[in-house]
Homo-oligomer: A and B are copies of this chain.
Amino acid sequence: MGAGPSLKSVARAAGVSVSSVSNAYNKPEQLSETVRTRILDVAREQGYAGPDAAARSLRSRRAGAIGMLFTEQLSYAFSDPYSVGLLAGLAEVAEQSRTGLLLIPVAPVDSTDPDAVDTSVQAVRQAVIDGIVAYCVDPEHPAHEVIRSRGLPVVATNDVPGLTHYVLIDEVGSTRKVGQHLRKLGHRQVGVVLTSHSHGDELSVIEADESHLLDFEQKRLRGFREGLGSGAEIVAVTGGHNSIESGRAAAGELLDRVDRPTAIMATSDVMALGVLQALDERRLVPGKDVSVTGFDNIPEAAAAGLTTVSQPIAERGRLMGRMLLDPDFAETRVVLPTKLIVRASTGPARG
């Protein structure tokens, strides 16, 4: 005999069919008031918690939850107000649709530990969900293959061959504006701080080959180049995870070079805050000695006087949610506007 009570045992005890018990929970209007309350009473007596979640998911083919894929450790994701903002927007819509939100961290495609990728791809396979938000997941990432074969609806934050639904920003155009801004200020020797999973937390200077960078970082770098125009020299450094600390480390690398750049662009505000720290440690003044720019316009950026690119954070999350959950939402590819926010951290180049 089974341990816990089930539809069946309740049905027996109440003297009705299994389907009636099921209906008592799911389609109350199909049952007479009398029978329905009797069933629910019996259920309570037996300590029956209501239809089993897994069984219901299996039979009805819906999970009541959507997954959100991160290619960062969750602890990093939560320390970036940008991810948190996106999540908040998404959660808002999910909540309205009575849908849960499952956070799924996946190891980056170029992770140092190859097992980690397999394991996390398995997590994607085993997640009981109805749809997925792919947040900065590399187009090459094997998770996409799993999602595809599972046939789950996906909304992504970056272009991935085979996918149809996106909520994007103009990555290239955004950093082009940053580049132009710095060019007008006379900066010709410029540093770039990138995140990169591939090299762990190790610093490394990017040489000619940029193909191993995350795709959105390639785009931001390209736009930045275009904006700066010819005659500028760019040194790009990756500092590992997206965190203040790695921004600080990467900036240190740049600032201690003999040909110290007069400006540094970071591809996220969180990293840029680290760059500001590195300046501070060297008694350099942002916007005077060295100009610094970020990306995202998180609340802290305003407080720090950081020149950055603003994108509608929560709105991006909301749109992703609606694309997945709202059947009346027809658009499949939304490109959100971004804006260059100039603050005190950028100024004319020295010398």
- Residues on A close to B: CB < 8 A? 4, 47-58, 61, 63-65, 67, 73-75, 77-79, 84-85, 87-89, 91-92, 94-95, 98, 100-105, 119, 122-123, 125-129, 146, 149-151, 303, 314
Which residues from B are CB-within-8-Å of A48?
A: 149
Which residues from B are CB-within-8-Å of A92?
A: 73-75
Q: Which of B64, B125, B314 is in CB contact (< 8 Å) with A49?
A: B125
Cβ-defined contact, A91 with B103, below 8 A: yes
Cβ-defined contact, A78 with B74, below 8 A: no
- Interchain residue pairs A-B with the least CB separation, the first 3: A74-B91, A49-B149, A54-B57
List 15 A-B residue pairs with CB atoms under 8 Å apart, sorted by A's residue number: A48-B149, A49-B146, A50-B149, A54-B128, A63-B128, A64-B126, A73-B95, A77-B91, A78-B85, A84-B84, A98-B119, A98-B122, A100-B102, A100-B104, A102-B102
Given A58-B58, A103-B100, A126 and B74 contact (CB-CB distance below 8 Å): no
A225 vs chain B, min Cβ distance (A): 35
Cβ-defined contact, A64 with B123, below 8 A: yes
Cβ-defined contact, A146 with B50, below 8 A: yes
Q: Which of B53, B89, B126 is in CB contact (< 8 Å) with A127?
A: B53
Cβ-defined contact, B4 with A128, below 8 A: no
Closest to A88 in B: B78
Cβ-defined contact, B78 with A84, below 8 A: yes
A184 vs chain B, min Cβ distance (A): 32
Cβ-defined contact, B64 with A91, below 8 A: no
Cβ-defined contact, B79 with A88, below 8 A: yes
Most buried by B among A56, A57, A78, A119: A78
Q: How far is the CA of A126 from the CA of B56 in the complex (A)?
A: 8
Q: How far is the CA of A91 from the CA of B105 in the complex (A)?
A: 9
A95 vs chain B, min Cβ distance (A): 5
Which residues from B are CB-within-8-Å of A79?
A: 88
Which residues from B are CB-within-8-Å of A125?
A: 49-51, 53
Cβ-defined contact, B127 with A47, below 8 A: no
Which residues from B are CB-within-8-Å of A63?
A: 53-54, 128
Which residues from B are CB-within-8-Å of A91?
A: 74-75, 77-78, 103, 105
Which residues from B are CB-within-8-Å of A64?
A: 123, 126-128
A207 vs chain B, min Cβ distance (A): 33
